[in-house]
A and B are shown apart, each in its own frame.
Chain A
Amino acid sequence: MRRRSNNLLVEPPSVATGDIAFNLIVFFLVCASVQPDSGRKQTLPRSEEKAKQEQQTKNVEVLLTRTTAAVNGDLVPQRELLPRLRTLLSGKLRPEDRVVVVKSRPDTPYAFWIEVTGLIEEAGGTVTIQREEERTVQVGG
């Protein structure tokens, strides 16, 4: 007599389902972390203020206040900033000539500073910062 094969239905154990679900929740929570991790690279020339002071006078200068930007002393609306910078930098081929000196008033907000420095880089300029307190102050006597 031929014996019938013992084909039993094998079910996966369901005890671990809860653990698997919990691990999946943890995994997706970690993945969905809202911390931003992308942005913009910025190369700043090393500060050698004293030695380069003379050179900087030939460079384009951008002065930022809380809401305005002035290029070489002229107040420029934000939408005209990019074409103006492109024009000023167009004839300059050497990297040191393409340095744009950014001076900011102490109350200039970061969001505005980022916007303007982004435009400078888009125009082909290299941003360098000149801080207010670094300006030469002559004391009489």
Chain B
Amino acid sequence: MKIPPRKHKAEVPSVAMGDIAFNLLIFFVILAKAQDDSHLNWTPAATAKVESAGATRVSVLINSENKLHLNGQPIGLSQLAPRVKELLGDAPAGDRTVVLKVHRESQALQFEPVIEAISEAGGDLVHILEEKRP
């Protein structure tokens, strides 16, 4: 007599579905950070007192190669003021913070026009700095 082979039903375990979904969520939340500039190389200047920059929609960065970036994307100086203005929109005073991250060795020739452009766009400037250690 021929014994028919047993057929086992193989199912994907559904216990881990919640965990998988949660991990995917974290992954995409990190990716979708609107102003992620963590891939850019820069060293902050130091100062005695620092305070929290608070929530902001706009981040301007001059990296160690003196390249200008807006929210992590390269941008030219001439487009900076209109783009910052556009991003700030009609935000009320106090909600118009623009964080400025400048590599400590950058020269006035590079950072002064950027400060001026932010001021022209009506942004509240916050220099991102490192606290000086005694």
Give chain B residues whose Cβ lies under 8 Å from the Cβ of A131: 112-113, 116
Q: Decide if B38 touches A35 in the complex (CB within 8 Å).
A: yes
Known A-B contacts A19-B19, A114-B127; the reply to A39 vs B51 at CB < 8 A is yes
Q: Are B115 and A110 in contact (CB under 8 A)?
A: no
Which residues of chain A in 88-124 are interfacial with respect to chain B, using CB atoms and an 8 Å cutoff? 104-111, 113-115, 118
Contact between chains at A104 and B124 (CB < 8 Å): no
Contact of A40 among B49, B108, B120 (CB under 8 A): B49
Residue A14 CB within 8 A of the other chain: no
Q: Are B105 and A36 in contact (CB under 8 A)?
A: no
Determine which of A19, A109, A114 lies in contact with B129 in the assembled complex, contact meaning CB atoms within 8 Å: A114
Interface size on B, residues (CB 8 A): 42
Is there contact, CB below 8 Å, between A36 and B129?
yes
Given A39-B128, A41-B126, also A107-B47 (CB < 8 A):
no
Bound CA–CA A39/B102 (angstroms): 12
Identify which of B45, B108, B119 contacts A106 (C-beta below 8 A). B108
A36 to B16, CA, bound (A): 36
A64 to B124, CA, bound (A): 24
Contact of B107 with A by CB under 8 A: yes
Residues of A near B91 (CB, < 8 A) are: none
- Least Cβ–Cβ distance between B133 and chain A, in angstroms: 13
| Assembled-state Cα–Cα distance A64/B38 (Å) | 31
Question: In the complex, are the beta carbons of A38 and B128 less than 8 A apart?
Answer: yes
Does B15 have its Cβ within 8 Å of any Cβ on chain A? yes
The 3 A-B residue pairs whose C-beta atoms are closest, nearest first, are A104-B108, A106-B109, A111-B45
Knowing that A37-B52, A107-B108 are A-B contacts, what are 15 other residue pairs whose CB atoms are under 8 Å apart, sorted by A's residue number? A16-B16, A36-B44, A38-B53, A38-B129, A39-B50, A39-B53, A40-B49, A107-B107, A108-B108, A109-B104, A109-B105, A110-B107, A111-B104, A111-B105, A115-B45
Residues of B within 8 A of A (CB): 15-16, 19, 22-23, 26, 30, 38, 44-53, 99, 102-109, 111-113, 115-116, 119-120, 124-131
* 28 A-B contact pairs sorted by A residue (CB < 8 Å): A15-B15, A30-B30, A36-B44, A36-B130, A37-B52, A37-B53, A37-B99, A38-B129, A39-B51, A39-B53, A39-B129, A40-B50, A41-B51, A42-B127, A43-B125, A44-B115, A46-B120, A104-B108, A106-B109, A107-B109, A108-B107, A109-B106, A110-B102, A110-B103, A114-B47, A115-B47, A129-B112, A131-B113
